[in-house]
Amino acid sequence: MAVIGQDISRAKGVLDAGELVAIPTETVYGLAGNALNPAAVASIFETKNRPSFDPLIIHVPSLGAAENYVTNIPSPLRKLAEHFWPGPLTLLLPRKSNIPDIVTSGLDRVAVRVPDHSLSLDLLAQLDYPLAAPSANPFGYISPTSPKHVNAQLGDKISYILDGGNCKVGLESTIVGMEEDEIVVYRLGGLDISEIESIVGKVTVKSHSSSNPQAPGLLESHYAPTKPFILGNLNEMVAYYQEREVDFAVLSLSQSFPAVPVGNQIALSPQADLKDAATHLFAAMRTLDESNATVILAELMPEEGLGKAINDRLKRASTKG
């Protein structure tokens, strides 16, 4: 298994050698490699078993550093960066030629963000290259929000995990770009749409893609447990599966079910706080996936605020090819 620690110098040494390190961010843990080293980036795809047509996000320590890798930052997107970086915002920007094709899957834009985590920012500040860092999990599975999640899934494939504790946001970043003069949200995430619109006005939200996505993390089937994950009316589904004596688990916003064993049900936020629910989503999905249940039953969140981003993840977790 990988060593877990807070030694930034050790992490830098591993990365400088062209190898991979798991790093903490406020959203989820990332599987990081030198974004300017095509072999290191290829190792990310190989380690995650990630399709090569699914582009990666590069992480930099500041807005100024981002300008080393993009040709320009349109004024509305610069305003967003100035307001929300460091934070759970990724900008899709025209790339410079120093960004390898493998990072962007050959597309003309690169996804860039400044993570809001002191350890990773300290690490990035010591590097003379950005880090390509998708979520540190096997492709399509639940994203990791703690070092132990990473170690359980990829600990036999990487040597070091930079321990930044549990992620405080728990949902991947919101991805924003522009098409002509229109501001487009390509992926719902940890930054609420209303916060973005308070800075730049109305935006367009584009749905995810089933193949050849324009931005990272847009494939239709994603974030999925290994067990069947069924969305619907929990009261009806609980009654249905109880009647058939099926071992099931329940993931709700705030409900509890007296007839369901305590270890087989998780309420994401007893106070029905959607920000709190987002923080706990992936850890809860993982816990129930590791339970003795044969199927996981879940409900959609209120379609407001971060509930929209949570529902995006829930719907893609329930998609079966």
The amino acid that residue 163 corresponds to is D
**CATH placement of domain 229-317:** 3.40.50.11030
Residue 218 confidence (pLDDT): 61
Locate CATH 3.90.870.10 in the chain: 3-205
User: Is residue 59 marked as binding?
Assistant: yes
Residue 151 confidence (pLDDT): 97
Whole-angstrom distance, CA of residue 158 vs CA of residue 161: 8
Locate CATH 3.40.50.11030 in the chain: 229-317
User: Is residue 43 marked as binding?
Assistant: no
User: Is residue 113 marked as binding?
Assistant: yes
Residue 54 confidence (pLDDT): 79
User: Virtual CA dihedral for 39, 147, 314, 258, nearest 10 degrees?
Assistant: 160
Contact 23, 154 (CB under 8 A): no
User: Is residue 109 marked as binding?
Assistant: no
User: Is residue 133 marked as binding?
Assistant: yes
Per-residue pLDDT of the chain in tens (321 residues, 90 and over written 9): 999 999 999 999 999 999 999 999 999 999 999 999 999 999 999 999 887 667 999 999 999 999 999 999 999 999 999 999 999 999 999 999 999 999 998 899 999 999 999 999 999 999 999 999 999 999 889 999 999 999 999 999 999 999 999 999 999 999 999 999 999 999 999 999 999 999 999 999 986 544 445 667 666 656 678 899 999 999 999 999 999 999 999 999 999 999 899 999 999 999 999 999 999 999 999 999 999 999 999 999 999 989 998 998 899 888 554
**CATH placement of domain 3-205:** 3.90.870.10
Residue 211 confidence (pLDDT): 40
Residue 264 phi/psi, 5-degree rounding, is -110, 15
Which pairs from 252-260 meet CB under 8 Å and 24+ separation? 252/298, 252/299, 253/277, 253/299, 253/301, 253/302, 255/299
The helix-helix angle for 75-84 and 193-200 (nearest 10°) equals 130
- Backbone conformation region of residue 254, classed left if phi is above 0, alpha if psi is from -120 to 50, else beta: alpha
User: Is residue 173 marked as binding?
Assistant: yes
User: Is residue 223 marked as binding?
Assistant: yes
Tell me the whole-structure pTM to 2 decimals.
0.87
